[in-house]
């Protein structure tokens, strides 16, 4: 009966030491007047999640030997049911911090350029922003639900910056002649990845085709970089210095391998050749029809599931379902019935109607 209290007394000094040490770890240090904050903009990469580039904040203080990069675009591939949670929009992203040299080394190895914009902030603004980053980093608030257009690595940094400055930022929206849609903004980034481009053009719904405001375009890292480059405060430029800190080797990104258009052309050419060889071309027509309706039916089931179950707003209200009907799967899998021809005619009419809609 006397051993338990003795053990507690023995552990008490260690508990007190941990209690006094932990706040010192979580409490941000006081920066010197020489501290600076920079926006780092990373060029697009080859991976799907890197096609649109990346944004991060660098906090440097030569007097303290501090040089950290804070990144809101971190996620864990080991998360259970990773791909399902990503499609549903329930994947947790979080804020992380790494040394500046480690950050640059990783992007140099990937061959991706990194540019830096040193922000002309006052010492108290630098301290306020750094304190918010450190406080968030050591709290559950570092986790958030990622939303591609509304809440990502770029929008979080812009919101953090605007909440930390003493005077509001003056953005120059005259740089954009006409308000583009989300789909138009994504098109140049998707060009090197035709299969991803096809999937996103099919998977993204009506919200993607709405015109964007100047603030809404800042979800893209390059758009945020250009906006800050022309931003001012009290008639003074917000960016004090801009430089490139990682210069990759010259490389031209171009689609490689089989593209969707190449697959379609190959299918048409092969069908024509088989048609010439077979004495009964009707069999070939039935086979192609089954393949076509099976593929479109599976895509329709996927789009319906995303529209009903995903938390991502851009995949909702998807008019592609007007021709990618889930019921197409019945025509592709079951044997031909009397209603098959009538259904095929209706499907072709729907497909032709949707094809006339704008997709830019």
Q: Where are the domains of the chain?
A: 28-176+214-246, 260-355
Q: Which residue has the higher pLDDT, 15 or 311?
A: 311
Q: Which two tokens stand for residue 232?
A: 């001012």
pLDDT, tens digit (0-9, with 9 covering 90-100), for 270-308: 777 776 676 656 676 777 777 888 888 899 998 988 888
DSSP 323: T
What are the C-alpha distances in Å from 121 to residues 36, 47, 268, 355?
8, 34, 60, 51
- Cβ contact 83:91 at 8 Å: no
* Average pLDDT of the residues of the chain: 82
Quick one: CA torsion of 169, 162, 49, 213, rounded to 10 degrees? Answer: -50
Lowest mean pLDDT among 93-102, 105-114, 338-347: 338-347
* Cβ neighbours for 284, distance < 8 A, ≥ 6 positions apart: 271, 274, 275, 278
Quick one: CA torsion of 17, 19, 21, 22, rounded to 10 degrees? Answer: 150
Q: What is the model's pLDDT at position 355?
A: 52
pLDDT, tens digit (0-9, with 9 covering 90-100), for 147-159: 889 999 999 999 9
Q: Which two tokens stand for residue 155?
A: 């929008």
Q: Which residue has the higher pLDDT, 260 or 55?
A: 55
Q: Which strands, in side-by-side order, build the sheet including 143-145?
A: 143-145, 92-99, 66-74, 54-61, 36-42, 114-119, 239-246
Of 226, 248, 247, the residue nearest 117 (C-alpha):
226
DSSP 151: B
Question: Class of the 28-176+214-246 domain?
Answer: alpha beta
CA angle 138, 73, 94 (to 5 degrees): 30
Q: Which residue has the higher pLDDT, 289 or 112?
A: 112
pLDDT band, very low/low/confident/very high, at 353 (cuts 50, 70, 90) = low
pLDDT band, very low/low/confident/very high, at 181 (cuts 50, 70, 90) = very high
Q: Is the pLDDT of residue 171 over 70?
A: yes
Quick one: CA torsion of 47, 51, 53, 56, rounded to 10 degrees? Answer: -50
Interval 325-342 mean pLDDT? 72
């Amino acid at each position: 009966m006397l051993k338990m209290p003795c053990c507690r007394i023995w552990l008490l000094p260690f508990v007190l030491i941990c209690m006094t040490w932990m706040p010192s770890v979580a409490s941000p240090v006081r920066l010197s007047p020489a501290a600076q904050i920079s926006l780092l903009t990373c060029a697009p990469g080859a991976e799907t999640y890197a096609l649109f580039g990346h944004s991060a904040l660098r906090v440097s203080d030569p007097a303290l030997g501090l040089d950290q990069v804070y990144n809101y675009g971190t996620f864990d591939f080991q998360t259970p049911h990773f791909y399902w949670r990503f499609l549903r929009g329930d994947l947790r992203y979080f804020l992380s911090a790494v040394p500046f040299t480690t950050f640059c080394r990783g992007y140099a190895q990937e061959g991706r350029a990194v540019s830096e914009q040193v922000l002309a902030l006052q010492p108290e603004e630098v301290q306020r922003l750094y304190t918010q980053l450190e406080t968030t980093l050591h709290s559950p608030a570092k986790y958030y639900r990622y939303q591609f257009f509304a809440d990502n690595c770029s929008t979080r940094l812009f919101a953090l910056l605007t909440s930390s400055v003493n005077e509001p930022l003056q953005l120059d929206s005259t740089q954009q002649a006409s308000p583009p849609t989300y789909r138009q903004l994504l098109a140049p980034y998707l060009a090197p990845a035709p299969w991803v481009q096809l999937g996103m053009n099919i998977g993204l719904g009506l919200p993607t085709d709405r015109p964007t405001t100047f603030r809404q375009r800042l979800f893209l890292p390059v758009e945020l970089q250009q906006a800050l480059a022309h931003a001012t405060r009290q008639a003074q430029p917000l960016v004090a210095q801009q430089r490139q800190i990682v210069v990759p080797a010259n490389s031209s990104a171009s689609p490689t391998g089989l593209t969707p258009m190449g697959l379609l052309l190959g299918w048409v050419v092969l069908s024509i050749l088989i048609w010439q060889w077979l004495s009964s071309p009707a069999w070939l027509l039935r086979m192609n029809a089954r393949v076509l309706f099976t593929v479109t039916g599976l895509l329709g089931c996927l789009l319906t599931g995303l529209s009903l179950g995903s938390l991502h707003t851009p995949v909702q209200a998807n008019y592609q379902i007007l021709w990618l009907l889930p019921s197409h799967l019945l025509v592709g899998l079951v044997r031909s019935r009397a209603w098959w021809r009538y259904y095929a005619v209706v499907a072709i009419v729907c497909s032709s109607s949707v094809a006339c809609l704008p997709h830019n």
